[in-house]
Structure 1
Amino acid sequence: MSVTHPAGFRASGVVAGLKSTGARDLALVVNDGPSKAAAAVFTSNRAKANPVLWSEKVIEDGRIDAVILNSGGANCFTGAFGFQTTHATAEAVADALGVAAGDVLVCSTGLIGVGDQSFRDAILDNVPPAVAALSGERDGGADAALAIMTTDSKPKESTIESRAGWSIGGMAKGAGMLAPGLATMLVVITTDADLDAATLDRALRAATRVTFDRVDSDGCMSTNDTVTLMASGASGVAADEAEFTTALTALCLDLATQLQRDAEGASHDIAIEVVNAASEDDAVVVGRAVSRSNLLKAAIFGNDPNWGRVLAALGTTDAEFDPYRIDVSMNGVMVCREGEPGDDRELVDLTPRATSILIDLKSGDATATIYTNDLTHDYVYENSAYAS
């Protein structure tokens, strides 16, 4: 149970025939209320997929009755026909549920340029089975989490139970192109807390800013990224905003690190913590520059604690620091002290999958952590064969 853990939500995942494997590829999550308050954030990429263009309009009134998601095709750069497909999908869900199409969020993920008549037919023909499965004997949350996977090796789900009597559940997909402005991911989060749309929006933006927005696996940004938060109010408990935001942030971090651990072909999960920066923005800029160094990522893959590549990367930023005072630690060993060689690099053990890089800028008291992965042969192979 994930998105169906909070009261007031049903979900399903069915086979629409979009994936060549015959796996589930069409998911539906429905909010039965009594509240329909919602918030959403989307990719900051200027090249947006048709479902994003549609859903940005849907969320403007702060209400969502249902979210339908497909894998097996991004429906991006498919022209007017693709947008009409998105609209038709929302209409089909609305008709089947007895709601307004303007309250149905649509999400797609998969290969860009896919969105022809067969794609449309596969989705529209399988909306009725997806709706029928909402009332099936199976808990549909697990099926929905499976249906949104593309190159993921496993579904990503999380739940949090509050002592105050409300809960949060979430599911995510994503295994590559994990860059700022969200990732190549779709995320649906549900809660039975009684909160209005404005509160949900503030909480969601606060949570994604320090979680999903800081997963930077390969520096590439997708066209379809969507994170949706729906509140049913079914618990009857009006959650404290600060408490809810803290819980939501914890759930988003759990899902974000699940995305990081499942990144395509990765053998190391790298947390780059920047401390004592002049500002949080500086900390993020430095961490992101280091996370995007292919030289460093290749070194980590080879279990080589090449700290010089850390300093070379952060030196490309305009953050405030003196490069000749910086300390760098790798997996607990300070390999660079005051911009000079520190402890023996042979003391660094990079064989565990979990890898930490700590960078002390000695310029202030701000901090930020960026999450990334190493660069492996498997990553290159997987992305070279993605469309085949």
Structure 2
Amino acid sequence: MSVTAPLGFEAAGVAVGLKSSGSPDVAVVVNRGPLKVGAAVFTSNRAKANPIIWSQQAVQDGVVEAIVLNSGGANCFTGSFGFQTTHQTAEKAGQLLGVSAGDVLICSTGLIGTGDEAFRGKVLEGTEKGIAQLSADGGEAASLAIMTTDSRPKRSVVTRNGWSIGGMAKGAGMLAPGLATMLVVITTDAVIDAGQADAALRDATRVSFDRLDSDGCMSTNDQVTLMASGASGITPDFAAFAGALADVCADLARQLQGDAEGASHDITIEVVHAASEEDAVEVGRSVARNNLFKAAIFGNDPNWGRVLAAIGTTAAEFDPYDVDVWMNGVRVCSQGGPDASRDDVDLAPRATHLLIDLRVGAATATILTNDLTHDYVHENSAYAT
């Protein structure tokens, strides 16, 4: 049930014609309490969609009563009309739910730069229709409604000692870090306050969504939201809650990676023995964004030279002639020179593991990415048609 697995939440997913396919395209998730705690992290892209601008202000008081999400239109670069659409959506939801519009977050996903009266009308219709269909079983429908180019919904639930966390996510392209990746809604019935929610969410996204770098393209609409109802009546140890939240975020991030547009390999880049975590992240990301490396993996070519060339562009502390590189368990490079034969590396499986040993410290980091394929280029060349 994803977001309605924890107690105190209702959700719905409805179709109002935003998608040409006729599939669900507006989702509503409502926190029935008794707590109405909320926290969110947003894209760091300076080009922000209208829902991001709204939600960044609305969440500042740590109270979130509901969230309305639409697919089929990003409502980004749509001027004052677009912001008015976001405002009216929150007002509509607030009116129907009997809550303040300022406690309603808004998310949108789809094509940038499009929006008219028909779009606004459908979003408002979907908000009304969704609220009318709210139920404790509506989490699955909501997870379907937020999909765009996704081939499948992403859901995750963990249950602990009397409390739980549930989540849903959408994302298949424009997956790059910057506090959050695409649209994610997470709910919990644990008793936590706004400060704890914010701290735990930022810690969890830092090592999950912020480490997903599928194609190096940062969206204008990225948002991860956490809502806490306290309906379980249980106050967990903060470390236990933070760990469970990190597990949900990591699971959803992996699902996003596995559904990346056109990908044929899911690449896990593990950097070990770095001087600092920042260095490990920088090195891993340099490889994740290297098109030559990603194209080589698509061609099942264990071209480790492209790995060293990529990490050599970073400011991380290491000696490029004292680095080891492993591909799917085979050490192809030892201390900056050839080791095992490339013929020993099997890159046929979708799961691909790259291990980079910098041999200078004790810090590690893992970055998730995908290969660069013909299908990815084709899908994104025709996205707006």
TM-score, length basis structure 2:
0.99
Q: Which residue of 2 aligns with 1:31?
A: 31
Aligned partner of 2:194 in structure 1 is: 197
Q: Distance in 2 between the 1:197 and 1:183 partners?
A: 19
Q: What does residue 387 of structure 1 align with? A: 384
Of the candidates 139, 142, 147, which is equivalent to residue 140 of structure 2?
Answer: 142
Q: Deviation digits for residues 14-71 of structure 1, max 9, x if unmatched?
A: 0011111111000000000000011100000000000000000000000000000000
The DSSP-based 3-state class of the residue aligned with 1:258 is helix
- Please state how far the C-alpha of 1:126 moved relative to its aligned partner: 2.6
SS of residue matched to 1:170: strand
The answer to whether the aligner puts 1:225 opposite 2:205 as a matched pair is no
Matched letter for residue 152 of structure 2 = K
Equivalent residue pairs, number: 385
Aligned twin of 2:348: 351
Contact 2:181 2:212 in 1 (8 A): no
Q: Distance in 2 between matches of 1:151 and 1:115?
A: 19
Partner residue in 2 for 1:75: 75
Q: What do you get for the CA RMSD once the two structures are aligned?
A: 0.8
Instruction: Work out whether residues 175 and 184 of structure 1, in 8 Å CA contact, stay in contact via their aligned partners in 2.
Output: no
Q: Does 1:59 align with 2:59?
A: yes
Between the aligned partners of 1:347 and 1:48, the Cα distance in structure 2 is: 46
Whole-angstrom CA distance in 2 between matches of 1:151 and 1:184 = 15
In the TM superposition, residue 182 of structure 1 has moved relative to its aligned partner by 4.6
Provide the rounded CA distance (Å) in 2 between the counterparts of 1:312 and 1:127.
50
**Structure 2: runs of 5 or more not aligned:** none
Mapping 1:124-163, distance limit 5 Å:
124-135=124-135, 139-162=137-160
Equivalent-residue separation in structure 2 for 1:79 and 1:128 (angstroms): 24
Matches within 5 A, 1:95-244: 95-135=95-135, 139-162=137-160, 164-182=161-179, 185-244=182-241
SS in 2 for 1:96: helix
Structure 1 residues 40 and 252: CA distance shift in structure 2, 3 A: same
Residue 220 of structure 1 deviates from its aligned partner by: 0.5
Q: Which deviations, in whole Å up to 9, do the C-alpha atoms of 1:287-314 show, x marking residues without a partner?
A: 0000011001000001000000000000
Counterpart-to-counterpart distance in 2, 1:347 and 1:183? 37
| Aligned residue number for residue 89 of structure 1 | 89
Name which of 363, 367, 372 aligns with 2:369.
372
Structure 1: 5+ residue stretches without partners: none
Partner SS, residue 3 of structure 1 = helix
- SS of the residue aligned with 1:263? coil
SS of aligned partner of 1:145: helix
1:298 aligned counterpart, secondary structure: helix
Q: Alpha-carbon deviations, 1:205-235, whole Å to 9, x = none?
A: 0000000000000111000000000000000
Q: CA offsets per residue over residues 341-388 of structure 1, 9 Å max, x none?
A: 011111000000000000000111000000000000000000001111
Aligned to 1:41: 41
CA offset at residue 151 of structure 1? 0.3
1:322 aligns with 2:319: yes
Aligned equivalent of 1:252: 249
Identity among equivalent pairs (%): 70
Amino acid at match of 2:46: R
Q: What's 1:334 paired with?
A: 331
Q: Deviation at 1:115?
A: 2.1
Letter matched to residue 318 of structure 1: A
What's the counterpart of residue 5 of structure 1? 5
Give the conservation status (yes or no) of the 8 Å contact 1:177–1:183: no
* Contact persistence 2:181–2:210 (CA under 8 A): no
Aligned 8 A contact 1:170 1:188 in 2: yes
Aligned partner of 1:102: which letter?
G
